[in-house]
Structure 1
Amino acid sequence: MADEDRSPEDDFQELMRQLFAGMGGDVDPEQLAKMSGMDPAMMQAVMSQLQGAFNTSDPGGISWDLAKRQALHIANQDGLGVTAGQRTDLDQAFALATLWLSEATTISELSSPPRTLTRGGWVEETLPVWQELAEPVASSIADALTATLREQAPEEMQSLIAGAGKLMRTVGGSLFATQLGQVVGRLATEVVSGGDVGIPVMPAGEAAILPQNFADFGRDLEIPDDQLALYIATRELAHARLFRHAKWLRLHVMSQVTDFARGIHIDTGALEDLASRFDPSQPDELRQALESGALIPARSEAQSAALARLENVLAMIEGWVDVVTEDATSRLPTSPRIAEAVRRRRAVGGPAEQALGSLVGLEMRPRRMREAAAMWRAVGDAVGMGARDALWDYPDLMPTADDIDDPAALIARLEARARGEEPAPDEIDDALARLLAGEETQVSGEAADESPAADGDPATDAEGDDDVPEDPRPV
């Protein structure tokens, strides 16, 4: 084939054939489909993305449109699946849940009505958030793939590598975009509501339930659908109300996640090892490495610190939602059973943890949720739900990890504030007060040393020292 007749796809196949040992034969769409787990139709979209690599204006080479198409393809496989009857039942559940919730919290109602979403609708609503979380990792994978292929290539291939650098970034970006689409698509078939994920993936102040997944969640619980709908609606409204009220909270949570994600780098050693023995006829290893997060190395100290902060704030959020939902649904006979089912689902690692684990290596399991719920319960019992909910008004009022460990100290501060008393100073304030007091004493001492009386009484000195002049002032 003449050089001028070669397409970018041909160049890519030739490059992969020469770089990876044991390749033997072209990489056709069916082989790549097996590698990614996609069906041939979606693989054609990937091939189109690769063919347009040289013409793309995106310097990152990451096709988020590909991720969206893949996610929607998975989410919509079973059709839309929302009937008019389901919408009516859930609308009624939301209406009653709104009344119950207003008795359990002082945080105001939502400004927009809650919705029922299809799986595809959930993908459309939440994909921008997943893209924001995944972008640091996608860029890291694309950079690592380009660097690794450059290092693995023989000397005579370096000129081709240099010319195809943009294509290599597109290959890495397309692989990750495909993975992101699969994760979000599968997640769309599991999440029950907008707040089910734990992190705020829905727009602030919006509540939604996915009827298809709601039916799947309650299938084995042997609980009447109307009671299950009331509980899930109450919990979803509590979550949405909290994020609407505390407008700073969404940014606070997302910044903790992105702080973690920005510290991610790809294990180039694992990538090189995988590349050296990659066989397109047996692509499962590459797909599993991408899906399992095996190319993401162990957490750094900074990431561990970010994870601890994230776990604490998620525990605070979920603990508050648990307490408020429990109070609001106290009339519901099956409420304890549903709450336990929610806790069990969360304890084994819900769909969000699996998604974030494969995308950014983040194990998002707020282990302190029960302790946080106990703290909120104790605070509400001691100072009332108004003072409890007011702790979400500003970031500096939100309880800390120390407050989870010692709710009594938090309650003492709140009770003192209610009486108009200043809270007892903490150790830092104490030390600062002592330091200032010490400086004050020192200054006072120095002033005393410089005063006339410092060396004794002037009259006494006049008697014992001839050098002291007489006072020239008249008596």
Structure 2
Amino acid sequence: MPFGFGLPDRDPERRDQGGEGGQGGPASDPFGLGALFGSIGAGGSPEDLMAKMPLFAELQKLMNWSGGPVNWDLARQGAISQLAAGHQPTSEAERTAVAEALRLADLWLDQVTELPSGIDRTTAWSRVEWVEKTLPAWSALIDPLAERVVAAMTSALPQEAAMSFGPVAGIMGRMGGMMFGAQVGQALGKLADEVLTSTDVGIPLAPAGTGVLVPQNVAEFAAGVDRPADEVRLFLALREAASQRLFAHVPWLRQQLADAVHAYARGITIDREAIERGLTEAMSGMEGGLDPSNPESIQQLLGSGVLEPEETPEQQMALRRLETLLALVEGWVDTVVAEAAKDRLPGHSALAETMRRRRASGGPAEQTFATLVGLQLRPRRLRDAATVWGAMGQRYGTADRDRLWSHPDLLPTSEDLDEPMDFVARQGLDDEFAALTADDAKPAEEQPDDEPGERA
């Protein structure tokens, strides 16, 4: 569930693996809610925790944040403070190399897709620049989720537990914006260490028309594969340029992704009666009951799952829609990049496989959406989406393949991805049916004359 109110990774296979994606690893509490209360439970107080963190020096200013449910000033400070030690500013040579790679990538893509270039300007960002310049996009995505979490938690607090739970409610109400700001800042700092482009998480985060690579991360990625650095940069430029084309020329796509996230947010509710029953059971199971003066008991209560919102059928539908859209975007990018690079980049297959493994083990896109909305972007969905796009191009050509992006109703649904080749086959039948109905609709004078001797 959002912001640490539940396990971010609900895929049992991933959880059983342990480590980064398993229970008990760092990814089991990516935003540090448990760490916050754990530090308090270790004998300190919220003020003690803040005193150890330089970014809390202007505590009063941060506490008075009134810009929304997430303190984005704090998120920015927290993310940048994480990156300070390893930060490397971009050089003029890196900016030139990125610009040349993106321009060449666009030339190659012109030959494999009907969609024109979506890049008006190119740039190379440092990790800090990535954080600063993507904040507006993150705000639009995350604010509705945070707002619903705060509203749901506040409205569902049982009256009977108000006396003993009051201190916690006070902390959460008074520090809600700071907590979310700190959590989001930690997540963005982690992402900034890994992202390679402005579309690496599945949605465009840069200003419209801006093609971006992050040279420091690209260099680290290249160091892990046995390919020349220039080849790796061009491969990633192809992926960035392909994504930019899609989002620039499919005007409804960005809004559909945002709507799916916000539809999930609107469904965040908490069953008051279930909370009351859960609180009673949880407190009865605590040694000595709930002690408001003991942060360890507060942490135990928060970790019991009592306050976890229940996922509604509407939310599950929104998640499926989001998962499907992200898979279709990623699958299309994989397909057109493969076509553009297959005869030009000798190491394309190896690089593509590296990207697939990166996604399967929890790349930035999967981590981000698992943390924010509980979504698992399963590699199986990506493979099925890529199968659809590849088969559509081979059977009907690139124009008919890309035509599916002209309206959301033409795209494969989650059910279609269960049998991708059936969906592809139906497209041919639909075209034949459309041609027949077009002939039937022609005026009589346009119909072909009957053969001699066949008239009545």
Interval containing the TM-score (normalised by the shorter chain): 0.7 to 0.9
Q: Which residue of 2 aligns with 1:108?
A: 116
CA distance in 1, matches of 2:158, 2:41: 15
- Answering whether residue 140 of structure 2 is matched by residue 132 of structure 1, we say yes
Report if aligned partners of 2:260, 2:318 keep a CA contact under 8 Å in 1: yes
Q: Which residue of 2 aligns with 1:380?
A: 393
Report if aligned partners of 1:106, 1:385 keep a CA contact under 8 Å in 2: yes
Report if aligned partners of 2:74, 2:181 keep a CA contact under 8 Å in 1: yes
Q: Which residue of 1 aligns with 2:350?
A: 337
Name the SS for the 1:154 alignment partner: helix
Q: Which residue of 1 aligns with 2:163?
A: 154
What does the per-residue CA deviation read over 1:425-464, in whole Å, with 9 as the maximum and x for residues that have no partner?
xxxxxxxxxxxxxxxxxxxxxxxxxxxxxxxxxxxxxxxx
Report if aligned partners of 1:75, 1:119 keep a CA contact under 8 Å in 2: yes
Q: Which of 251, 257, 261 matches 2:255?
A: 251
Q: Which residue of 2 aligns with 1:434?
A: none
Which residues in structure 2 correspond to 1:248-397 (within 5 Å)?
248-265=252-269, 269=278, 276=290, 296-330=308-342, 331-365=344-378, 367-397=380-410
Q: Normalising by the residue count of structure 2, what TM-score does the alignment of the two structures yield?
A: 0.73
Name the SS for the 1:192 alignment partner: coil
CA distance in 1, matches of 2:429, 2:295: 66
Q: Which residue of 2 aligns with 1:210?
A: 214
Unmatched segments (≥5 aa) in structure 1: 1-21, 34-38, 424-475
Report if aligned partners of 1:259, 1:306 keep a CA contact under 8 Å in 2: yes
Report if aligned partners of 1:30, 1:40 keep a CA contact under 8 Å in 2: no
* Amino acid across the alignment from 1:305: M
Q: Which residue of 2 aligns with 1:68?
A: 76
Report if aligned partners of 1:256, 1:309 keep a CA contact under 8 Å in 2: yes
* Amino acid across the alignment from 1:74: Q
- Answering whether residue 101 of structure 2 is matched by residue 93 of structure 1, we say yes
Which residues in structure 2 correspond to 1:3-152 (within 5 Å)?
27=45, 29-32=47-50, 40-46=53-59, 48-50=61-63, 52=64, 62-143=70-151, 144=153, 148=157, 152=161
Unmatched segments (≥5 aa) in structure 2: 1-39, 439-456
CA distance in 2, matches of 1:362, 1:114: 31
CA distance 1:263–1:367, change in 2 (3 Å): farther
Name the SS for the 2:367 alignment partner: helix
Report if aligned partners of 2:145, 2:262 keep a CA contact under 8 Å in 1: no
CA distance 1:348–1:261, change in 2 (3 Å): farther
- Provide the aligned C-alpha RMSD in A: 3.8
CA distance 1:362–1:45, change in 2 (3 Å): farther
CA distance in 1, matches of 2:196, 2:353: 16
Q: Normalising by the residue count of structure 1, what TM-score does the alignment of the two structures yield?
A: 0.70
CA distance in 1, matches of 2:199, 2:93: 23
Q: Which of 171, 193, 196 matches 2:197?
A: 193
Deviation of 1:367 after TM superposition, in Å, equals: 3.0
* Amino acid across the alignment from 1:410: R
CA distance in 2, matches of 1:124, 1:205: 17
Q: Which residue of 2 aligns with 1:420?
A: 435
Which residues in structure 2 correspond to 1:419-458 (within 5 Å)?
420-422=435-437
Report if aligned partners of 1:146, 1:165 keep a CA contact under 8 Å in 2: no
CA distance in 1, matches of 2:400, 2:180: 46
Deviation of 1:95 after TM superposition, in Å, equals: 2.1
Report if aligned partners of 2:119, 2:245 keep a CA contact under 8 Å in 1: no
Name the SS for the 1:115 alignment partner: strand
CA distance in 2, matches of 1:129, 1:209: 17
- Answering whether residue 422 of structure 2 is matched by residue 410 of structure 1, we say no
CA distance in 1, matches of 2:270, 2:159: 16
CA distance in 2, matches of 1:48, 1:149: 31
Name the SS for the 1:207 alignment partner: strand
What does the per-residue CA deviation read over 1:386-428, in whole Å, with 9 as the maximum and x for residues that have no partner?
12112212333333345442134333146427x83349xxxxx
CA distance in 2, matches of 1:87, 1:212: 12
Deviation of 1:148 after TM superposition, in Å, equals: 4.4
Report if aligned partners of 1:383, 1:414 keep a CA contact under 8 Å in 2: no
What does the per-residue CA deviation read over 1:90-115, in whole Å, with 9 as the maximum and x for residues that have no partner?
22211221111111111101251222
Name the SS for the 2:264 alignment partner: helix
Name the SS for the 2:436 alignment partner: coil
CA distance 1:174–1:145, change in 2 (3 Å): farther
What does the per-residue CA deviation read over 1:198-236, in whole Å, with 9 as the maximum and x for residues that have no partner?
133333443211111111212111211011111110111
Report if aligned partners of 1:296, 1:361 keep a CA contact under 8 Å in 2: no
Name the SS for the 2:113 alignment partner: coil
Deviation of 1:167 after TM superposition, in Å, equals: 7.4
* Amino acid across the alignment from 1:175: M
* Amino acid across the alignment from 1:319: G
Q: How many residues align?
A: 385
* Amino acid across the alignment from 2:322: L
Deviation of 1:88 after TM superposition, in Å, equals: 2.2
* Bigger radius of gyration among the two: 1
Report 1 or 2 for greater relative contact order, CA contacts < 8 Å, sequence distance ≥ 6: 2
CA distance 1:256–1:153, change in 2 (3 Å): closer
* Amino acid across the alignment from 1:123: V
Deviation of 1:346 after TM superposition, in Å, equals: 0.7
CA distance in 2, matches of 1:375, 1:28: 52
Q: Which residue of 1 aligns with 2:11?
A: none
